[in-house]
């Protein structure tokens, strides 16, 4: 996965190679940039599903987001909405990233 300005997401899919589910993030100074990229990719995707009325999918993904990304950062409970996931992440991280500045206007539109 690659996030570019705009924001534009590029996924590299290798259909002949299975992609097993990933483990929850291990948060460290070395992984913070990757965690940030993963969050902004995921929240943008979730918001697109919310806008499309896919509430069932969003609810399940918010639980997975909590387990894999927000809980390792220190969140105690899963968010109930995309907006709550965004607010929780913003509370847990230290400072805005360049990717945040690209994605947040799309989320707020």
Q: Can you give the pLDDT at residue 36?
A: 94
Q: Can you give the pLDDT at residue 15?
A: 82
Residue 82 confidence (pLDDT) above 90 = yes
Task: Lowest mean pLDDT of 4-8, 55-59, 100-104, name the range.
Answer: 4-8
22 forms bridges with which residues in the sheet? Answer: none
Average pLDDT, the chain: 91
Q: H or E stretch including 9? A: strand 8-10
Q: Can you give the pLDDT at residue 72?
A: 96
Report pLDDT digits (tens) over 11-64: 787 888 887 888 898 999 999 999 999 999 999 999 999 999 999 999 999 999
Q: Give the DSSP per-residue string, 41-90.
A: HHHHHHHHHHHTT-HHHHHHHHHHHIIIIIHHHT--S--SSHHHHHHHHH
Q: Can you give the pLDDT at residue 21?
A: 80
Q: Can you give the pLDDT at residue 4?
A: 77
């Amino acid at each position: 996965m690659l996030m570019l300005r705009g924001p534009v997401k590029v996924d590299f899919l290798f259909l002949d190679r299975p992609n097993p589910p990933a483990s929850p993030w291990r948060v460290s100074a070395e992984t913070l940039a990757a965690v940030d990229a993963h969050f902004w990719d995921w929240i943008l995707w979730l918001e697109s599903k919310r806008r499309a009325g896919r509430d069932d999918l969003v609810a399940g993904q918010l639980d997975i987001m909590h387990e894999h990304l927000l809980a390792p950062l220190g969140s105690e409970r899963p968010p109930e909405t995309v907006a709550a996931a965004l607010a929780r992440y913003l509370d847990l991280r230290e400072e805005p990233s360049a990717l945040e500045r690209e994605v947040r206007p799309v989320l707020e539109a």
